[in-house]
Amino acid sequence: MGWPMCLVPAKCRLNKRFPTVKAAVRGVTRLEFLLVLSIVFLNVAIFLPFVVRSRDAARRAECKNNLKQVGLALANYHDNFAAFPSGFEVNPNGNYLGWGWNLKILPYSDAADVYHRIEPHFANGIHGLKDVPNWNRQLSSLCCPSDTDVEKVPHAMVVTGKVIDGVVAAGTQNWQSRLPRSSYVGNAGYLQLEAGGIQYNSAATPTSIVPLMNAGSLGNVGVVQSPRYRYCDQKSFRGFFGQNSHVRYRDVTDGTSNTLSVGERYSPADATASATGYGTWIGVPDCTNAQGLAMSLGDASLRINIGMPFREQTTGFGSLHEGGANFALGDGSVRCLSQKIETVLFRYLSVINDGSYQSPQGK
């Protein structure tokens, strides 16, 4: 006898033994969303400073490498001419020149073609470049990567007249030009109390002094000063560079490893302001005031980064690196000096022959 036939359909029997279970679909709760979001923000807060710090370290290293190349070019120039280039050139009589130290070392860099384009116009001075096409090229090797405003170049006044018996004719600064920028200016040293760091009023009594608000006055240069101080004479400022200077290794009696040659200059935040504080590799377009001199030179009258965090205009030294600025020394080495360095020590380091033999403490 066979098995009795099951009258229940197979589908029903299957569902009875193995009931179908439908998974419940549930959304993410607000608490879970906030928890995930807080974890993301926590990770960002933890790792972002490391990312920013590493980027700044990379930019600082690139800036140091730029200065090392500048130091090497200066050494090569000295090997060929037995002296470092002039801070800037002024003819005793004739056209105002203004060519700076940075231009003169371009043949020893990757921008030799720029130098050779300008060289035929040396006798005419910076003013003679107004009709020369494509001379004012921005050179990345002379720009600090941390200075994002380095491309903002204001107009600068350029001397167009003559020099008579070493004195620049008055009222001849009337050609405006957009000069190529540089983040690195030559160390001019500093003047003594009566003529640098604080303003000396020659019209009043010799004891009348007025503190300067600007960082590094370059001796309050200008026509009110005697010829000795007027155009940043190297023998008065005692730095690596000055008007018609020709400093040799043997002149640096404090030691090349103890003396600053070139330092950083940050761009002012307001690009629409006057050109004071902006650096250029072409030279000094106008040596009759601190604005023009500071485009190629800097002095150590006041401390590093005096204008931070507002980045006010300065004729001294400073950078957008955190806590200090990079400097090339006379021996070609590069150090980052802290903005907390004592002003007296900073001045010692800026002078080539003060007998202090101070050594820079920096990385």
Return averaged pLDDT per consecutive 10 residues of the chain, 363 residues in all. 51 51 64 81 72 78 97 98 95 91 96 94 90 86 87 76 80 72 92 43 35 44 54 79 93 94 86 71 87 87 80 82 94 95 90 78 63
Q: Which amino acid is at 232?
A: C
pLDDT of residue 241: 94
Q: Half-sphere exposure of residue 299, counting CA atoms within 13 Å on the CB side?
A: 30
Burial class (CB in 10 A: 0-12, 13-18, 19+), 166: middle
Structure token digits, residue 141: 């090797």
Nearest CA-CA partner of 225 in 214, 213, 236: 236
- 46 domain residue, yes or no: no
pLDDT of residue 20: 56
Residues 6+ apart with CB under 8 A from 211: 198, 199
Determine the length of the chain. 363
Residue range(s) defining the domain that contains residue 221: 51-350
Locate the DSSP E strands across the chain.
Answer: 94-95, 155-159, 162-164, 167-168, 173-178, 184-187, 198-200, 209-211, 260-264, 297-298, 324-329, 334-338
pLDDT of residue 10: 52
Backbone CA torsion sign across 152, 154, 160, 161 = negative
Backbone CA torsion sign across 97, 98, 100, 106 = negative
- 223 domain residue, yes or no: yes
Distance, CA of 5 to CA of 11 (rounded, Å): 15
Distance, CA of 133 to CA of 33 (rounded, Å): 61
According to DSSP, the residues that pair with 362 across neighbouring strands are 337
- 37 domain residue, yes or no: no
pLDDT of residue 27: 67
- 5 domain residue, yes or no: no
- Structural domain total, the chain: 1
- 40 domain residue, yes or no: no
pLDDT of residue 53: 65
For residue 262, give the DSSP letter.
Answer: E
Check if the beta carbon of residue 216 is closer than 8 Å to that of residue 317.
Answer: yes
Structure token digits, residue 187: 């160390």
pLDDT of residue 63: 97
pTM for this prediction: 0.78
- 99 domain residue, yes or no: yes
Distance, CA of 182 to CA of 305 (rounded, Å): 17
- 8 domain residue, yes or no: no
- 11 domain residue, yes or no: no
Distance, CA of 29 to CA of 7 (rounded, Å): 49
Structure token digits, residue 26: 């549930």
Matching residue, tokens 């569902």: 15
